[in-house]
Amino acid sequence: MSNLPSEPEFEQAYKELAYTLENSTLFEQHPEYRTALKVVSIPERVIQFRVTWEDDAGNLQVNRGYRVQFNSALGPYKGGLRLHPSVNLSILKFLGFEQIFKNALTGLMMGGGKGGADFDPKGKSDAEIRRFCVAFMRELSRHIGADTDVPAGDIGVGGREIGYMFGTYRRDRNRFEGVLTGKGTHWGGSLIRPEATGYGLVYYVTHMLEIAGAGSWEGKRVAISGSGNVAQYAALKCIELGATVVSLSDSKGALVAVDDGFVTVEDIEAIMDLKLKRKSLAEYTPKGNLKYIEGARPWVHVGHVDVALPCATQNEVSKEEAEVLVANGCRFIAEGSNMGCTLEAIEVFENERRTKKGDAIWYAPGKAANCGGVAVSGLEMAQNSQRLSWTKEEVDQKLKDIMKNAFYNGLETAKKYVPMEEGELPSLVAGSNIAGFVKVAQAMYEHGDWW
């Protein structure tokens, strides 16, 4: 890693994985896997290209486009496309690296990749977004395919953008195939895909609650950050299961319950409509006891909560915020976002897990807890290959099974490789990292990628 240019987000993702592998008995039992770690940390291919498009005034605009095809040992590269001004190679490498092991934990045949552009959809007209998506896909299309690389949506890329990109691929390549996921349900998309990451997160935490002896969701107070797709459906599923949601947020500030208030289904539906119009939470006027705090994240403002679900972006829970959550009685933290907690915050949670046996804090990393989104993308690929559509109930049941398997895979792997004292809950971050890594490394070995 020392020979790389500064890529802070990618270096953080690598260090988190390497730290948990080093502090387990994996390398003692399998020293050869050190070689695999060196190989898997370098992408198989990085594609960078320019995207030129015309704005509504007729002026030429140019952006940087990327696709990081990180690892294909388990299947075609799979991972989202992000359109946001913050997009750079470090962020996409971190996301692609996480995606390798997240996809492995789903049990489906998918490799890891990520892509996007430093294009900002905010403030752009529908016509400008369409022209950008067409120009972007014309460059990207020569590098992807249903059996090569299957991108999906991410920040800034929803159903509309996927539609524009799919139409461009279909026309330019003269192929109707499952080259993108997140498609419209009447032309190859899967039911439950929009809900999948949020629903899957809640299904995963359900098993955490059960194993820790904390019962069901009924009566639990839940703090959620973000107000996009993941946060919306996680909040709706929590409410459906009897929990009380006390916060949502966006990049401008946080909406927090006060005086025994809570986020309602009606609030979430109104916020969904607001976000479709690319407006901020600051423009929402709640009917109940909710307060908007400008420039804040929710964690230090929510008081006592039982569960915290970071669902916004990377590094959104700091060490100090982690300490406040612990002090306020939060016992379960699971990432709906990718790398939602800083390394220092994770250490706070892990230290609490090790020292508090009866009422331990239990943290679940995004690569396990939020893998439901890409899992249903994998199910969409399967349906496309069969030219079939499954029912909502079929997809939801498969999602529940995948999240259960991801949870127990991490749990049992931690018991196998991470030393524990009696009464200590297994480390889900270590177990998930090791389980995903071993599966990918072994496939790479059998393919001759390392020896």
Could you list the active site residues? 114
H-helix or E-strand spanning residue 69: strand 60-71
Distance from first CA to last CA of the chain, Å, rounded?
20
Q: How many residues does the chain have?
A: 451
Complete DSSP assignment for 261-300: ----HHHHHHHHHHHHTT--GGG---SSSEEEEET--STT
Sign of CA dihedral 316, 321, 323, 328: negative
Answer for the pair 152, 79: CB distance below 8 angstroms, yes or no.
yes
φ and ψ at residue 130, rounded to 5 degrees? -60, -45
Find all residues with CB under 8 Å of 316, minimum gap 6, and list them: 225, 297, 310, 337, 340, 341
Structure tokens at 350: 């892990």
Question: How far, in Å, CA of 427 to CA of 410, rounded?
Answer: 8
Nearest to 29 by CA among 418, 428, 407, 451: 418
Integer angstrom CA distances of residue 329 from 223, 303, 325, 333, 346:
12, 9, 7, 11, 16
Q: H helices within 107-257, ranges in order? A: 126-140, 159-173, 196-211, 229-240
Nearest to 271 by CA among 254, 293, 294: 254
